[in-house]
């Protein structure tokens, strides 16, 4: 890693908010590459993922997180506990809300959570492209929350990029001088194989919607590069025969659709031609959780 120039700023920015407010879309736009998958389904993002943006003046390391909601059970408590740790371990919290609708109890719950930490907070009003004609009441509902806590606010659209240069400037202002934490040309801390698996999982979420539950685990079995094409073999693990049926579809049509859409995404990721071969396997729960743990980088 090269030595940073004098006055160079750097730091970690935690992207926090309710499910589906656009946290992952935002991170992808800011770093200029799709590294986190997005979908209209809540709980799309399973684990913490870093996206790195290096400019001549600064290095911003975004930490995308699964959405936070009020816990209704013990596992929920653990997730909130994790969120608290995430908030404490970053330099700035970017609290993202969906400004196409008014501030709700879910936002207030998170506001309460983040306001207890010493970490500086910027409130980001996302989805301004989707606001109704007169959005004054919506904006006011968030401004009230921001004023109460003395938070800076900024409006943007993660989808069309409006307001993002200003967001970038505002975040850099909040950072201290510091080194390059990552090489300047790196956009994520995740290996390419992991992102390939995620891109396949994204198409499953998008194309099968609620029919196949979130329990799918994708394993990349083989990546073979030749001078002309990259061959990727992956297995989609599900828990039940019925889920396998849905994934394969009549005459294999569903699996074909998932495969061709995922292949296009992977081609963009690696900027080259891809041949993608998908298999579907029924695995009992315990086996799946091992695959999931392996995805997360644990030795199993």
* Min dist. Cβ of residue 52 to Mg ion (A): 17
* Min dist. Cβ of residue 47 to ligand GDP (A): 12
Q: Is 283 in the site for K ion (CB under 5 A)?
A: no
In the complex with ligand GDP, the residue whose CB is nearer, 126 or 235, is 126
Is 23 among the annotated ligand-binding positions? yes
Helices of type H across the chain = 23-31, 74-88, 105-115, 136-149, 164-174, 192-208, 241-248, 253-270, 285-295
What are the structure tokens assigned to 5, written together?
């120039």
| Residue 144 CB neighbour total at 10 angstroms | 10
- Evaluated on CA atoms 65, 66, 68, 70, the torsion sign reads negative
| Residue 153 CB neighbour total at 10 angstroms | 19
Is 263 among the annotated ligand-binding positions? no
| Residue 48 CB neighbour total at 10 angstroms | 14
In the complex with ligand GDP, the residue whose CB is nearer, 58 or 206, is 206
Q: Is 44 in the site for K ion (CB under 5 A)?
A: yes
Tokens 């506990």 appear where?
81
Is 273 among the annotated ligand-binding positions? no
- Interaction site with ligand GDP (CB under 6 A): 17, 19-25, 38-40, 44-45, 67, 126-127, 129-130, 157-159
Residue 54 interaction partner, one of K ion, Mg ion, ligand GDP, none, beta carbon < 5-8 Å per kind: none
Is 64 among the annotated ligand-binding positions? yes
Residues that bind K ion (CB under 5 A): 20, 44
Which residue positions form the known binding site for GTP? 17-24, 64-68, 126-129
């Amino acid at each position: 890693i090269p030595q940073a120039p004098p006055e160079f700023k750097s730091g970690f920015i935690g992207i926090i908010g309710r499910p589906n407010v656009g946290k992952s879309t935002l991170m992808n736009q800011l770093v200029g590459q799709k590294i986190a998958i997005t979908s209209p389904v809540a709980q799309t993002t399973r684990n913490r993922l870093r996206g790195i943006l290096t400019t001549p003046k600064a290095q911003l390391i975004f930490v995308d997180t699964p959405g936070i909601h009020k816990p209704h059970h013990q596992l929920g408590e653990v997730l909130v506990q994790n969120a608290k740790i995430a908030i404490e371990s970053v330099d700035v919290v970017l609290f993202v809300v969906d400004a196409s609708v008014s501030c709700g109890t879910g936002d207030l719950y998170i506001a309460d959570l983040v306001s207890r930490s010493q970490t500086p907070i910027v409130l980001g009003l996302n989805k301004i492209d989707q606001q109704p004609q007169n959005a004054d009441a919506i904006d006011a509902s968030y401004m009230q929350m921001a004023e109460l806590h003395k938070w800076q606010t900024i409006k943007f659209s993660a989808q069309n990029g409006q307001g993002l240069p200003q967001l970038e400037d505002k975040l850099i202002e909040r950072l201290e001088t510091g080194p390059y934490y990552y090489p300047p040309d790196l956009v994520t801390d995740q290996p390419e194989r992991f992102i390939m698996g995620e891109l396949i999982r994204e198409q499953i979420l998008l194309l099968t919607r609620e029919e196949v539950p979130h329990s799918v685990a994708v394993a990349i079995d083989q990546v073979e590069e030749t001078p002309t094409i990259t061959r990727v073999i992956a297995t989609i693990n599900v828990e039940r025969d019925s889920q396998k049926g849905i994934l394969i579809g009549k005459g294999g049509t569903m699996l074909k659709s998932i495969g061709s859409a995922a292949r296009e995404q992977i081609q963009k990721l690696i900027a080259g031609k891809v041949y993608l071969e998908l298999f579907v396997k029924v695995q009992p729960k315990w086996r799946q959780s091992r695959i999931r743990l392996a995805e997360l980088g644990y030795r199993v």
